[in-house]
Amino acid sequence: MRTPADRPLDPEATTRDRFSEEAATFTVKGRDTPDLDAGVAAIRNVLRTLPARPGVYRMLDSGGDVLYVGKARALKSRVTNYTQVTRLPRRLQRMVAQTRGMTIVTTNSESEALLLEAQLIKRFRPAYNVLLRDDKSFPFIFLREDHAFPRIAKHRGARVGKGIFYGPFASAGAVNTTLNALQKVFLLRSCSDSFFANRSRPCLLHQIKRCSAPCVGRIDTAAYAELVDDAKGFLSGRSQEVQRKLGGQMEAAAASMDFERAAVVRDRLRALTYIQGSQAINAGDDAKDADVIALACRAGTMCIQVFFIRGGQNWGHRAFFPAHTADVSEDEVLAAFLAQFYDDVPVPREVLLDRTLAENDLMADALSERAGKRVALRAPQRGSARRLIEQAQRNAVEALDRRLAESTTQGKLLAELAEVFDLSSAPQRVEVYDNSHIMGTNALGAMIVAGPEGFRKNAYRKFNMKDAQVGGAAITPGDDFGMMKAMLGRRFARLEHEDPDRTGGDWPDLLLIDGGRGQLNAVLEVMGELGVHNVCVVGVAKGPDRNAGRETFYLPNGGELTLPPNSPVLFFLQRLRDEAHRFAIGAHRAKRSKAIVANPLDDVPGIGPARKRALLMHFGTSRAVRGATLEDLEKAPGISRATAVALHGHFHPRG
């Protein structure tokens, strides 16, 4: 289970609770003009009262936004370096020129400063820090222990609950493969408690020999507990012990002429052999429980490959491409990655690296403090652990080569896109908008984002059109123009509020609208109302008979253009539009599925779960509640006169 040390600390709570006696905050603001002298002056103002203690500092610009977060063993010495601008690389000189204030937090040790630095970087995502862009959570296998017959299932998110979490796994696919094999070998249930409690006969999983059917008494508690213990042993790395046990059971069944039982155990052994063969990585005794991390660098781009080894098995690997790595050394990038990566990922007992870091001992101490156990960082030079490092290095290089090839192709397409639409430079952020509904019901808008690195799925957005309005009036169901205006209005109103100076990188260079001249004019109208005039907008309309390859592109100046059917730019634009369409359709289907099982009482203000249950118990159905008179509603238990009036008025509004 996750220990308190595993949970990420809130930066403000860290400052307030753990370091309250030693914390000191200084905010100094100088001139707003972005010049080097003003930045140095702001830093020197802070230096006057800065202690020579461990801590974390934040560089702030004139608007109070965080430019950089750093940690130091001695704050005064470290911050003094920023006043010696001639010795700074050009990147840090630009940062100092923008600095107008600093915030300082002292800590009790440098390892505490390292942990706090990682938390603040993930929170503020400063422009001058190395950033871990892929912050998607990792899936786990969760074995619940709050039931007589424990359930095994995939889990993603906060690790809370009574049970054991095994992981992390690199992907949902790796978890699903392992779970399927575990069901074949150990026959543990994967159903929910409500499903389990309402079974009167075995489900399909029992029929295909993937569950022991404890729901209908096909196995008793003691025998099921033995299966659970075997599963724990396998997931903890004692697979050979489990294999020997199953082999003994098969031989005993065969010796007693129980060949049907022997065949069942044989099938379980085959499944166990399969999962061992598909996941084993020959970790040897040097790395039974470790993360293997290697870095590759080429053409200014860095890739960090991480293998998850648990119990001598490979639970998958993932490649990461940190941002803001220009002019930063490989060791510094790797150290920043480790601190941010393990901010919310459980730390194993050992981390194998392809190099020894300059602050190796400090990083080990910080990770040990976070994990609540001793963590070792080492760079193996021989043996099976070294072979793991070489495999991670090879995968890092291959992933980087693929990334560079994709980026080169993507960059070339974006440059050609700029020529087609007469842009001043290749767009760095392309946003594509689409909407989806059925006869106006469950209306939903969608935005996808693409850039030089491909689709940015963490930037995708959905827009619920249930209560959307244009010009103070509700949108007529099925009004595509009104939906597009409402969606773009909300998008750019929020952008203007969050980033009025357009420095955050969230402003698009090109908008693609799925639709023709009408949709384009609707978007241009709402953007004009918001004062947004320097973003190129293009409407993409399907050709005759909605044939792909004969699209017409509508330009803001009233012009139209088509591209040759074999044009790479046309294929690229089709791919962008199809991705937006896929995302919109998927979101719409999810919303429609949710609406099918929705209860009309869910939308009534003041009607919570208890009152809804009381109404349904009294009237039987929500339709009966809707048709009830005011007097009948007052007779329902727990429904006051005021609640009855509000409920009746909701279903019977006066014209």
Kindly tell me if the per-residue pLDDT of 599 is higher than 90: no
Kindly tell me if the per-residue pLDDT of 257 is higher than 50: yes
Kindly tell me if the per-residue pLDDT of 4 is higher than 90: no
Q: Are strands 289-298 and 350-353 parallel, antiparallel or unpaired?
A: parallel
Q: Give the CATH fold of the 600-651 domain.
A: DNA polymerase; domain 1 (1.10.150)
- The domain covering 284-401 belongs, at the CATH homologous superfamily level, to UvrC, RNAse H endonuclease domain (3.30.420.340)
Kindly tell me if the per-residue pLDDT of 317 is higher than 80: yes
Can you tell me the mean pLDDT for 280-308?
79
More confident call, 158 vs 386 = 386
Handedness of CA 9, 14, 19, 20 (dihedral sign): negative
The predicted pLDDT at position 276 comes to 60
Q: Are strands 289-298 and 301-310 parallel, antiparallel or unpaired?
A: antiparallel
Q: Give the whole-angstrom CA distance, residue 583 versus residue 589.
A: 10
Q: Give the whole-angstrom CA distance, residue 361 versus residue 267.
A: 48
What are 645-654's pLDDT values in tens digits?
888 888 887 6
More confident call, 105 vs 12 = 105
Q: Where are the domains of the chain?
A: 4-124, 140-279, 284-401, 430-595, 600-651
CATH number of 430-595: 3.30.420.340
What are 83-134's pLDDT values in tens digits?
998 898 888 999 999 999 999 999 999 999 999 999 999 889 898 999 987 6
Share of the chain above pLDDT 90, in %: 32
DSSP string, 619-642: HSSHHHHHH--HHHHHTSTT--HH
The predicted pLDDT at position 471 comes to 56
The predicted pLDDT at position 452 comes to 87
Q: In which residue are the tokens 């359709």 written? A: 585
CA-nearest of 522, 514, 574 to 538 is: 514
**If pLDDT is split at 50, 70 and 90, which confidence band does 8 have?**
very low
**If pLDDT is split at 50, 70 and 90, which confidence band does 287 have?**
low
Q: Give the whole-angstrom CA distance, residue 616 versus residue 601.
A: 10
Q: What is the 3-state secondary structure (H, E, C) of 302-323?
A: EEEEEEEEECCEEEEEEEECCE
- Burial state string for 85-116 with b = 16 or more CB within 10 A and e = fewer than 16: beebeeebebbbbbbbbbbbbbbeebbbbbbb
Q: What is the 3-state secondary structure (H, E, C) of 129-192?
A: CCECCCCCCCCEEEEECCCCCCCEEEECCCCCCCEEEECCCCCHHHHHHHHHHHHHHHCCCCCC
Kindly tell me if the per-residue pLDDT of 2 is higher than 50: no
The predicted pLDDT at position 15 comes to 38
Kindly tell me if the per-residue pLDDT of 490 is higher than 60: yes
Collapse the DSSP code of 559 into the 3-class scheme (helix H, G, I; strand E, B; otherwise coil) and give the result.
Answer: coil
**If pLDDT is split at 50, 70 and 90, which confidence band does 596 have?**
low
User: Across all residues in the chain, what is the average pLDDT?
Assistant: 83
**If pLDDT is split at 50, 70 and 90, which confidence band does 234 have?**
confident
Identical fold, 4-124 and 430-595: no
Can you tell me the mean pLDDT for 334-355?
92
What are 496-508's pLDDT values in tens digits?
887 777 776 789 9
**If pLDDT is split at 50, 70 and 90, which confidence band does 336 have?**
very high
Query: In this structure, what are the phi and psi dihedrals at residue 473, rounded to the nearest 5 degrees?
Result: -110, 145
The predicted pLDDT at position 208 comes to 87
CATH architecture of 4-124: 3-Layer(aba) Sandwich (3.40)
The predicted pLDDT at position 10 comes to 46
**If pLDDT is split at 50, 70 and 90, which confidence band does 289 have?**
confident
The predicted pLDDT at position 327 comes to 82
